[in-house]
Copies of this chain bind each other. A is one copy, B any other.
Amino acid sequence: MERLLVVGGDAGGMTAASHARRRVGVDELEIVAFERGDFSSYSACGIPYFVGGEVTDIDDLIARSPEEHRRNGIDVQMRTEVIAIDLGARTITVRDLDSSVDRIEPFDKLVIATGSSPTRPPLPRIDAPGIHGVQTLGDGVALSDDLARLDTSSARAVVVGAGYVGLELAEALHRRGLKVTVIESGEQPMATLDPDMGTLVAGAIRELGIDLRTRTEVDAFETGADGRISAVVAGTSTFAADVVVLGLGSTPEVALARAAGIEIGPTGGIATDPHMATSAERVWAAGDCVQCHHRVLGRPVTIALGTHANKQGIVAGENATGGDRTFAGVIGTAVTKICEYEVARTGLNEAEARKGGFDFSTSTVEPTSRAGYYPGAEKITVKIVVERTTNRLLGAQIVGKEGAAKRIDVLATAIWNDMTVDEITQLDLGYAPPFSPLWDPVQVAARKSTHQA
């Protein structure tokens, strides 16, 4: 019987396994997935809400347990790390992390879904107890357990990095009652936004009572007599800390693929074609570990996001079982919520457009989220980036309150279809006073860009 092996038991890998299983029955194909951690198929995006207390049961974040996968005909081996791939012999070496026993597993088809590794700068004492990454569900549990040992009403937390994950965790810790400081090296939080839009996020964060320090670099960590984190040193400032969360982003985990001789792309992700095939025959890849096509930039990028991992997993799983599906690429859509503020972006921001060599203009508008007279109407800021020569929408950013973020989907769909701003003004979008002004805010931005308004 043929064997499909899957390296990594989270979104990309298990989606590939599941879609492979749907195409080929258990009597024709054996499917085994190897996961070095304690959890499979979970929502890493849900970690901040577990830490913050909105989600009380960690099991709620698990989409499908190993047992459920097994019932579906997929063998999932937990706490089992793949430590080598031999393309010539078509085998992998796996290590049982509890017994430390290695063994060889042969494969006919292989899907690599090794995910990404959190960035951990080589700073003094960065491995001290009380300093947490938040990449895996295990990390989330460890942080939550650690908080349970603290008096959260008086404890001080420092979050390093003000990207999506950093800010979501900052809010979670704030919600738990900790006094929170966020340290960010950049000019503004959320580097995927332009600084003018990031400023709005900074205001929202500070409004919460979170101490946000931008243009600040962490130099070292200090520990107490017990060896546990006691402070974060940044230049001449020292921030007392009972707990530290690292939210510095992640890089594709490609060591295994590289060692096997599989091509790594210029972005640092595993090079894949639209079929999610790697440079090696019979080997596909999916999820945070790959680079994939950015439709606006026209070149590969790496973006660690569950939505992409799922879509790529479907493609890898189907093609590994004789299917013919392609992944259509990404455009960099992302949304987040910080207390009552919603933040969204898609396509290219100014810096990306500049770097991509585009000749562009921008328009920023501040209409209301609902008809101005309707209760609860709030200011919503929409900024768009437009190619000057074609009037094509290149990117958009939104900051606002309730109902703001998911409006980005309209602009993402517009970018996906190469729409011009003039075409966007013509779109037949839904209007009723509780939901939007007569012109939806995304169209208000497009109208400004076309000088209609």
Which residues of A does B touch, CB under 8 Å? 11, 43, 45-46, 49, 54-55, 60-61, 164, 305-308, 310-311, 314, 327-337, 342, 344, 346, 371-375, 403, 405-410, 412-414, 416-417, 419, 423, 425-436, 438-440, 452
Contact = CB atoms under 8 A, between A and B. Distances in A.
A405 B430 contact: yes
A375 B433 contact: no
Contacts of A336: 432
Contact of A428 (B46, B55, B405, B412): B412
Residue of A346, A425, A429 with most chain B CB atoms under a 10 A cut-off:
A429
A331 to B, nearest CB: 5
B439 A337 contact: no
A166 to B, nearest CB: 14
Contact of A423 (B311, B328, B433, B435): B328
A30 B358 CA distance: 43
Residue of A60, A405, A419, A432 with most chain B CB atoms under a 10 A cut-off:
A432
B429 A49 contact: no
B373 A61 contact: yes
B412 A346 contact: no
A306 B346 CA distance: 29
A232 to B, nearest CB: 27
Copies of this chain in the oligomer = 2
A433 B307 contact: no
A314 B426 CA distance: 11
A333 B342 CA distance: 25
B311 A426 contact: yes
A211 to B, nearest CB: 24
A344 B430 contact: yes
A431 B46 contact: no
B419 A435 contact: no
B306 A43 contact: no
Nearest to A19: B452
A334 B311 CA distance: 30
Contact of A373 (B43, B407, B440): B43
B408 A430 contact: yes
Contacts of A333: 428-430
A307 B43 CA distance: 40
Contacts of A332: 428
Contacts of A310: 438-439
A337 B403 CA distance: 14
Residue of A306, A406, A407, A436 with most chain B CB atoms under a 10 A cut-off:
A406
B413 A417 contact: yes
Residue of A346, A417, A427, A430 with most chain B CB atoms under a 10 A cut-off:
A430
A406 B430 contact: yes
Contacts of A416: 427-428
Nearest to A343: B432
Closest 3 CB pairs of A and B: A335-B430, A60-B373, A417-B417
A413 B424 CA distance: 9
Contact of A403 (B403, B412, B428, B440): B403
A276 B164 CA distance: 47
Residue of A45, A332, A375 with most chain B CB atoms under a 10 A cut-off:
A45
B417 A435 contact: no
A440 B430 CA distance: 18
Contacts of A417: 413, 417, 419
Contacts of A308: 428
Contacts of A55: 373-374
B49 A430 contact: no
Contacts of A452: 314
B307 A429 contact: yes
B409 A430 contact: yes
Nearest to A407: B406
B346 A432 contact: no
